[in-house]
Homo-oligomer: A and B are copies of this chain.
Amino acid sequence: MNDQMTIACLDLEGVLIPEIWIGLAEKTGIEELKLTTRDIADYDELMSKRLGILDQNGLTLKDIHGVVASLDPLEGARDFLEWLQNQVEVIILSDTFREFAMPLIAKLGNPTMFCHSLSIDYETYKIKSYTLRQKDQKRKAVIALKSLNFRVLSMGDSYNDLSMLEEADAGIFFRPTKKITEEYPDFPVTQTYEELQKHLCSVHGFRP
């Protein structure tokens, strides 16, 4: 490893935990919650739709926490994260809402996460509104971290990770679809934590 301090930026869903909206759809039986950016391309519009569905079904943050708390991080995620944190600083860059993800973030040991947020009425636990913190937030976070003289490594699985993979000093795919790896063949592809660790050791000087 060179002398510059390294920070690793990790996507959350699909990399450390399962997809929360899919989990919510399956556990609540509300099929509409499975809508993704493939169905509604605009993320803002999609979120508005999803939160509307929750509201129509009378689901409060407490109900959602109940569901999210019943999910678990991906197998091996916690160990991988600790291994990584032991060697470099880590920040999760995610397009989730902090308030939704908290039960799973707690199971990961409360890593720092840059994401979006909900406004909650903490008397009724109803969701009042949501705030997308910043457009193109993953790319901007990498730029900000580089301005603090960090060497940035990014790891993600999907289209909303491309900006941080591109902007980082090195970007790595973790469990991506075949389609995205064909479209963006320049990023190394890893499928398991073991493989990712080996890659970080051999290419980026991490210790086993």
Contacts and interface: CB of A to CB of B under 8 A. Distances in A.
A203 interface: no
A89 B117 CA distance: 11
Contacts of A4: 131
A114 B3 contact: no
B145 A133 contact: no
Interface string A69-106: 00000000000001001100111000000100010001
A140 interface: yes
A141 B117 CA distance: 21
A162 to B, nearest CB: 19
A112 B112 contact: yes
Contacts of A145: 144
B102 A86 contact: yes
B109 A148 contact: no
A113 interface: yes
A3 B134 CA distance: 13
A11 to B, nearest CB: 16
A3 B148 contact: no
A25 to B, nearest CB: 26
Interface in A107-146: 109-114, 116-117, 119, 122, 129, 131, 133-134, 137, 140-141, 144-145
A28 interface: no
Contacts of A56: none
A113 B89 contact: yes
A117 B5 contact: yes
Interface of A: 3-5, 82, 85-86, 89-91, 98, 102, 106, 109-114, 116-117, 119, 122, 129, 131, 133-134, 137, 140-141, 144-145, 147-150, 207
